[in-house]
Amino acid sequence: MSTSLIILVVIAGLVFWGISIYNGLVAMRQRVSQAFADVDVQLKQRHDLIPNLVETVKGYATHERETLDAVVKARNAAIAAQGPAAQGAAETVLSGALRQLFALAEAYPDLKANTNFQQLQTELADIENKIAAARRFFNNAVQEYNTGIESFPAVLVAGSLGFHKREFFDLGETRTQVEQVPQVKF
């Protein structure tokens, strides 16, 4: 009787241990998904702001069509990108195009002095800061999740339960360029 009780306790312990590991991994996976959604929200705000910025610049710099088209094209590519790696690459291109747009504004004093343009620049700088914070939170959640599924004893069951490594939101080689907040000069 006592041997079967010990076996039953060991089996129950293993079941609770498995449930605990599974629930912990699910919680970490949900945190990663939520963090990615937060990045996505910030990127959408950025994407929504860009057409207003382009329209404002158009009024002052109509013959700078190539720069304006590059910003619109980069925005559309960023909207269409799927997954952290593709979004990171597309956002890098978009940030470069926006830098060109702000450099263009330096050549047009009336545009630089325009209140609407100044407000859009300020909003964009604020959104860039929020995007950076959301990316850091996402990458931290991914790091915790990846560590969780690769740590013992979870590594024994994580793969068979459908838990796989997630990608970081990496900006690649152009990280130093993108991490610079757009300059707002008056």
Q: Give the pLDDT band (50/70/90) at residue 171.
A: low
Mean pLDDT within 52-63:
78
Mean pLDDT within 16-31:
93
Mean pLDDT within 71-84:
90
CATH superfamily of 40-145+168-178: LemA-like domain (1.20.1440.20)
Per-residue pLDDT at 86 exceeds 90 = no
Per-residue pLDDT at 44 exceeds 50 = yes
Per-residue pLDDT at 186 exceeds 60 = no
Per-residue pLDDT at 28 exceeds 80 = yes
Per the confidence metrics, is the pTM higher than 0.75? no
Q: Give the pLDDT band (50/70/90) at residue 178.
A: very low
Kindly list the domain boundaries of the chain, sorted by start residue: 40-145+168-178
Mean pLDDT within 134-147:
94
**What is the per-residue DSSP string for the chain?**
-HHHHHHHHHHHHHHHHHHHHHHHHHHHHHHHHHHHHHHHHHHHHHHHHHHHHHHHHHHH-TT-HHHHHHHHHHHHHHHH--SHHHHHHHHHHHHHHHHHHHHHHHT-HHHHH-HHHHHHHHHHHHHHHHHHHHHHHHHHHHHHHHHHHHSTTGGGTTGGGT---------GGGHHHHTSPPP---
Q: Give the pLDDT band (50/70/90) at residue 181.
A: low
What are the backbone dihedrals phi and psi of residue 144, each rounded to the nearest 5 degrees, phi first?
-65, -45
What pLDDT is stored for residue 113 in this prediction? 75
User: Of residues 103 and 40, which shows the higher confidence score?
Assistant: 40
What pLDDT is stored for residue 62 in this prediction? 67
Per-residue pLDDT at 105 exceeds 80 = no
